[in-house]
Every structure is written in structure tokens, then in C-alpha cells.
Structure 1
């Protein structure tokens, strides 16, 4: 597969995923459901009927009847079995986006058109009629057409995506960023997970369950979402949303980061400390309200954190950690002392999550928590007065690209 054809194939997957998301969101009842890749690509189940939908995306291809012929034949075969009672009675839908040629269906489809363009085929120079093979009468084909809808003017890729994001924003509220990075990100993960399940029961979800699984305040690292955005663009968007301020306000900022135990390199964490201090500390003599950030590192051994502190201190990088002397208990008063140009404190290190919680609760100024996690979140702080941003990353180095 060439690179270009691979890109087209991936866009086709995303187009179907986005249509699946829209199909759930458009359900009238919270108890209505969508089934992924059961009878067709998407099965929409309501209290009264089931619609089996086939989805095609050919943005560079002219529409020809042959493009959807196999899909129609498959649906006719299913229809025949439903007449015999061996398959459920359903509605059929084909949605497709094409570069041109849509006018070929403008006059509609009758039985003769159906037989000529969709059910007649040639194999090894022999002509076959699928409806004759199935023993379907014209009256039965007429009934099939009543159950079939074909839309060859389905929305273009980006237009459909915008509709998904706008619909999510209308349901959950918030900004367009939240709609895309929280809700769409999670919706994509839910649909992708369902599509690879073996059992049909595990590929079905109600609107109620879907909305509950999508509703989150965390930016999760979904590799399919990142594939769609591009890793560089993904990290840049997070930086723009959370870490681009023209005038950095003197808030108390807590940066919580997690290290990979199997690939940890001290130099990487040290560089991150220096970068956080450089960007999120203001200590000049002219600064009316000087400040510096707090940092907590999750997953690093105490001995390694101590070694890093020693290394930074030996290089003249002043830090405090809330312990005033050897053997002293942690003191919120100590860690909260003001960083100034005079005392040169450039960073405040919190050794434990208990220290983090105690300090955040003791601070009376505006507080911001930025938690970067590799797997599950490791810290919860339930206080509407404190903004808590949770971002899942693939590796520690991503944090530096974001902040």
C-alpha cells in the first residue's frame, strides 16, 4: 500500500468512526442503541426498528453504481433471509461521499433499475442475476426498496467532523477545545474499542452509556486521536490551550509529572525542572509579586529524587522541599515561603502526594494544578475553586513540549 493510499484508508476509518459517533448522538432516546459492525458497518436500534448502515468514503472517486453494488447485493441477501425468518427484519441505509457522479441516482431507483445496475453481475464472462439466484419476485424487491435509502451526497470528511464536535459541544457545553480534546477524544476511543470486540453484544452501546463514558474532564492519550491530529499538532494545541499566557499571573502553580520507571533518565527530569522554573517563575527585583512553581514527581524512588536535588543544588539552582533540617517533618509553612529575587528560590519540590494535598489546601492564593499522567490519574483534588488540569501523555518528554 502506498503512503497516499494508506492515508486515504485511514481517513476512511475515521469517517466511519465519526459517522458512528454522530449516529449515537442523534438517537432520540437514551435507551436507543448503536451496534458497530454487526449486520453492516453501523446498526441503529430504536424502540421500533433497526437500521443497518453501510458507510463509504471516496473523496477522490467518481460515483458509479458498481461502487455500492456489493453492499446492495449483501443487503438483498439479508432481506431474503429476513423473509424466511432466519434473520431480523431491518431497514437498510447506504451513505457515501464521492468526488462527483452523484447525479446518476437523481432519478431514483425502481425495481428494474435495481435489477439492472445492482443485482446483475458478470463472472468469468457469464452473466448472473442475484435476485433470481435468491428467488425474489418483483413484489419482494419492491418491498426491499421501501426499506432501502441511499445517500451519495454524504458530508465531506472535515464537514462531518465539525458536526461531531459541534454536537458534542451542544450536549456537554464548554469550549470547542473541550468538545474535541475531552469528549470527541473519548468518543473516538469508545467506538474504536467497540469495533475490535469479537462478541456482537460487546459492540453495542446505548446513548445513555455512551454519554457517560465520553463525559470526562481529562485529556486522555488516545493514539487514534493523536494519529488523526498528528503528535506535534496535538502537543501544540495543548500548549496553546493551557500554557500560553502573554502575562504570566502570580498564581501558585503545581506541576505533577510521572516518570517511566523502565526508561527513566535523570537528565530528562532535570531538564524539565529547569524548563518549568524558566517559564513559570518570576523572580526579578522589579517583580511586585514574585513566584515560582511547585513540582511533584510520581514514580521516582526517594533516593533518585534526593540525588537530583543534590545535583541541582551543587549547580547553584536553589530549591526547597518543606523540610528545614535533617529529620524534620514536612512543613507547609516552610514550602510556602515566598520565592524572591533576594532568596533565589527557583523551584519548590513536593516529595509525596500527601505533601501536595496539604500544601494546596493551605495556600490561599489562586491555585492551578497541572497533572501529567502516563496511565491512570494518581491524584484527585475535589475543590471547584482550584483548577485541576489532567493530561495523559505518552512519555515524560511530551510534558516539555506542552509546557
Structure 2
């Protein structure tokens, strides 16, 4: 057993951890927001820094005993600045959502206006969904993608900004397969005298590797997750110009959080260091190439993709044209049963419930970390198509499961 120390005090938790390790090793993670960090990142995240209470910032802590916490956090900050070219970086947010919360808290008052992308069109809960803190605290209106093209309706966004007069416009998305034109959104923000928050949670690694346009230096604030395409310690990040530095730092601590999770910040530091390597550049390029190969092959099988393809690490399949009686949840469940893990997802013009929508979202960060290339991803597309075409056929399910087992054995993950 890998978790022998845990097992000596808590067998039940150790068995669950072993099960999760085995699940990740034996399945293909194609959830666009998931990835596999290195053993070095995991080791850093399980370090003694988990015991350290380091309220405040490097050199300005409220407790003693923070000399090594300071060193680690400063490394994470400096490496983030090098990766993304930001003037100021806060690495303490516990998640991308809390990074967004910090920006709202720093720059908005309750009742102020947010303009963001509709959730069913690829937006995120923290951009103003009524069930989320942002939707409960601020007045929110939303722009959409063009349902014909699947691309952001930039003209509609600008018109909405003019009529709604928002205090902040949010760009960056959780289910948008195309490159974002940050300057066009900034122009709309300037016209409305609004701040511009670019949430790059999904594409942090792609932006760092310069394979996707960067909003740093364009938008007023850039937030993101640190565990998706960037493969660092789990959490969030806020980047901004120096003029907003104090407001952002005060909004993170003490505004939205107490003590930082220093063990996760250690993971961020290690992951950011890994992302500065040539190997990571090749990884980011391969991630996009894999997504495009997967998209092309699915289209050859007759599937309809939102926007007709992808520029990044994810693609959205609209099942309605090719499989009108099949829902995303049916596909998600059938694929999970054979070891391919992805998620059901809403699509523009959604006609079903968000709990059982009409599409699926597929990502390539995890399988690229395994070592998959375009040819492997084309084969995975073939396997997905077989399941979608006949999700209840036992012979098909068995054959695909066998091939997935062979692929996970060939492209190993954690020993």
C-alpha cells in the first residue's frame, strides 16, 4: 500500500486514497478542468508547511515562524511574474472562484453591476450566477455567443455594455473552445468606463506558454486557477497592475480569507518552476494539437462541435444534431463505465435541464500529461464515437473498456 502511514492510523481513508490513485491510473481523465500534477508538486503539497499559520504576506506576517513560508511564497510570486509578465501577483487565493471574489470585493460595492457570459454559453458560476455569491451580491446581466457560429458575439457584448452600463466586464470562460479576443472586450469596457476582469482559469498554462493570447497588460485584472493547464498546486491566483496591488492584497487577506494554505502555495511554486521549462512549452503545444486532432476525428464521425472546432484544450460536442435522443449525462455515464471520464455540459441554445444537458465537454490536458499525441487522441475519438452511437451495447462497452485498459497500461501515470 502506498499510504502505509495513513493506513496505520486510518485504514478507511487509506483505502479511499488508494482507490483514487488506482482510479486515476486506470482511467483517462478528459474533464477539461482536470490534470495530473507531478510527484514533486504532490510532495510539496504534503509538506510540513501545512502546519504553518502565515497570515499576511512575505515579510509582513502576523505570526512568528514564517521565514520559510516567506521564501516559498516569494518564489511562487516571482515565478508567476516571469510566466505571465504581470506587475503584481497574489498567490494566496484558495481557488479561481475566490480569486474572482477578491477582485469583486476590491473594486465593487454590493449592488454594482457585472456583465458576464451566460453560464449555458460557457461562462462560470463565479461570474454572476444567481446561486453563487456574485449573483447574490451584485446586479448581473449576461452576454452570449452567437448560436450560429459558437463564437462570442462581441458586437452584442459591446451593445449590452452600452445599455447596461456595468461596473465590471468579465471575460474568460469555462467552456469556450476558441481563442479570446481580449482587446475587443477591453474596448467595450473602456467605452462603458468599466473594469475588465479576465478569468483565465482554464487556460493559465496555455497563456504562460504563449500558445494562447494573453490578457495580462490588456485587462485590469487577470485571475486563474493554478491546477488546470498549468499543473501546479491546487488554488487560485490574481494578477494586476501595481496601482491595484494594495486593494487586491487587502481583499484576499483579510477580506476574503484568513491564513493561506502554505502547502498548496509550495505546490504552486514547484509547478510554476516546472512551467518555466522547455518541456512545458512542448506540453502546452501538444495539448492544443491533441484537442484539434480529437475534434477533427469526432467531426469525421458526424458529431457537431460548438464553433466547429477548437483553438485551445477543450471541445464541446452538441449531441442534438447527430443523436437527438441521447443526453450528455447518458454519454457521461456510459463513458465513465469504460474508463473515459468527461462531463455532460450545456451548449448554446440549450433545450434541456443543466442537470441532463445536450452536450459533452472534452479536454486534453490530462491525457497529454500521460503522453498522448494526435494519433492516440484520434483513437480516443473513435472509442468515444462507438460509445455514443450505442451506449447500452454490452459488447461495445466491453471492447472499449479493454482498449482503455491497454492505453492506461501503455501510458502510465503514477507508479
Q: TM-score range by the shorter chain?
A: under 0.3
Structure with greater strand percent: 1
Which of these two proteins has the greater Rg computed from alpha carbons?
1
The structure with higher relative contact order (CA 8 Å, sep 6+) is: 2
